[in-house]
Structure 1
Amino acid sequence: MFEIRVICEPDDADRVSAALAAAFNTGPARQCPTRDGRRTRLYVTADHRPDFEAWPTPDEAYALAPNILCEIGWTAQTATDTPFGCDLGREYWLRKAAVLDRIALRTEDEGLTSDATDAAIEAARQLIAHDRDREGGCHGTPYRPEHPATAANPRGYVRQEYAHWVKTHH
């Protein structure tokens, strides 16, 4: 167990406390004004969170996935068929993130340098943002979109969600 002291603007105290609570197991934040009275001191008793559970491996997540060309075709057709300005839906963001993850895995396995990894991470972040902004839809076991492990490993989140989705949609 340890104690964290933060000096921040009074308007930031709640946001700082929430960020610390997301990263650590914390007690309630104690607040005191700084000596000059213009800022706030936060004292938080904290402890490390237990180790995160393992994400599904790519083999586990994509065992039942259609081939990559079919998935590219599906995502392209869905994007084309959806009227401009309309929500593409969670299935689109999930399948797009998964196919880009699978492409990145192949290039990484072959030792190739490409933008595939960056594209996979960005697509994963789009899925996470979609899941954060909308109630329901995400499987969230063991990690929800707002969990620190998700931010640390967005492609792991895609694999978790795809593994669940593919089992329930075949």
Structure 2
Amino acid sequence: MQQRGELVGVGSMVGLVVAILLAETGTAGGGGAFLAMAAIVAVAAFALPHAYWLRADENGIILVRLLVPRRYAWADIRGLAMELGRDEENDGHHLTLRLRLAEPSGRFRGPRLGRIDVTEEDTPEGVPPRALAELFAVFVEHQLPVDLPEFANEVLRVRGMPQLPPLPLWAPPVEGAPGPEQAYAGAPGIQDERDDLVALGKAVKRRPGLSREYLLRRAALADRVFLRDGDGLALAIALRAAEQLVEHDRIKVEGDHRDYVRQQYLSRRTLDR
């Protein structure tokens, strides 16, 4: 799924440098240097796009890039990040796919799996590659979320594969989601919670099972900081932290995701009493 044009450009630059070095050092004549450059460009155009493989098994995903394998356990995978973009030079549209991992947190910080061209409407272009459909099918099988389910479902439909399962919808309590005063009553002080989260963040690296507690407490703390300070940056941080908890729990929340954070935080504190 890697675009051949990107690699041809890189190969051309490398080939040009090699040809100049060969010519200047006298290692090869003009013809030999040209052939060396052509060979490097050919490798970039035809070999490198196929120089990585992606394989899934019961334990996780193995990504082999440039013959170097790396395993990502299912417990560490939070979903498939899909980022739509536009090339300024040729005005083309593309889709970049990455694994979303529990650590480091962040939407597009996982390993890149590939990039494909899409239409101006950001829909699949022509007949989607089977490799792309099989990638989505892996996430269907393991019930992991993808960023653009409508795009993925269209690819799967064209290839005759099962669609992504809908995420369960979170329903707030009948009396409504708790307000911040109720949700955070009796919570530790903000600075104390910050200190605890630093220690908990380190513990998560050794015990991944603590990641859910870490995400919940971090989202609640970010919400409390916004309620105290009320500035735009604090709100953006609180909304993103709430979104990460929702993504981890693999559910769908309509409206403000902080309602879910407050309800879950209150439930956790009630159980701990």
> For this structure pair, what is the TM-score category when the shorter chain's length is used for normalisation?
0.5 to 0.7
Residue 53 of structure 1 deviates from its aligned partner by 5.4
1:115 and 2:236 equivalent?
A: no
Contact 1:97/1:158, CA 8 A, preserved across alignment: yes
Counterpart CA distance in 2 for 1:120 and 1:84 is 26
Residue ranges of structure 2 left out of the alignment (5+ in a row): 1-153
Corresponding residue of 1:163 = 266
In structure 2, what residue type is equivalent to 1:153? D
Counterpart CA distance in 2 for 1:157 and 1:65 is 17
CA RMSD of aligned residues (A): 3.2
CA displacement, residues 35-70 of structure 1 (integer Å, 9 cap, x when unaligned): xxxxxxxxxxxxxxxxx8521010010012111111
Residue ranges of structure 1 left out of the alignment (5+ in a row): 1-8, 23-51, 133-144
Counterpart CA distance in 2 for 1:70 and 1:83 is 21
Give 1:2-151 correspondences, 5 Å limit. 11=157, 54-83=176-205, 86=208, 88-108=210-230, 113-132=231-250, 145-146=251-252, 150-151=253-254
Counterpart CA distance in 2 for 1:117 and 1:15 is 35
SS of corresponding position for 1:127: helix
Q: Residues 15 and 55 of structure 1: is their aligned pair in 2 closer, same or farther, counting only changes over 3 Å?
A: farther
CA displacement, residues 133-164 of structure 1 (integer Å, 9 cap, x when unaligned): xxxxxxxxxxxx32xxx231100100000011
Find the partner of 2:257 among 145, 154, 162: 154
In structure 1, what residue type is equivalent to 2:272? H
Residue 81 of structure 1 deviates from its aligned partner by 3.4
TM-score between the two structures when normalised by the length of structure 2: 0.36
Asked which structure has the greater RCO (Cα within 8 Å, sep 6+), the reply is: 1
TM-score between the two structures when normalised by the length of structure 1: 0.55
Q: After the TM superposition, which segments of 4 or more aligned residues of structure 1 sit over 3 Å from their partners?
A: 84-88
Corresponding residue of 1:48 = none
Counterpart CA distance in 1 for 2:229 and 2:200 is 25
Contact 1:55/1:159, CA 8 A, preserved across alignment: yes
Contact 1:93/1:123, CA 8 A, preserved across alignment: yes
In structure 2, what residue type is equivalent to 1:166? R
SS of corresponding position for 2:185: coil
Counterpart CA distance in 2 for 1:120 and 1:152 is 14
Q: Residues 86 and 54 of structure 1: is their aligned pair in 2 closer, same or farther, counting only changes over 3 Å?
A: closer
SS of corresponding position for 1:151: coil
CA displacement, residues 84-119 of structure 1 (integer Å, 9 cap, x when unaligned): 7945421111111101100011122xxxx3411111
Counterpart CA distance in 1 for 2:207 and 2:185 is 33
Matched residue count? 113
In structure 2, what residue type is equivalent to 1:126? Q
* Structure number, greater radius of gyration: 2
Q: Residues 82 and 15 of structure 1: is their aligned pair in 2 closer, same or farther, counting only changes over 3 Å?
A: closer
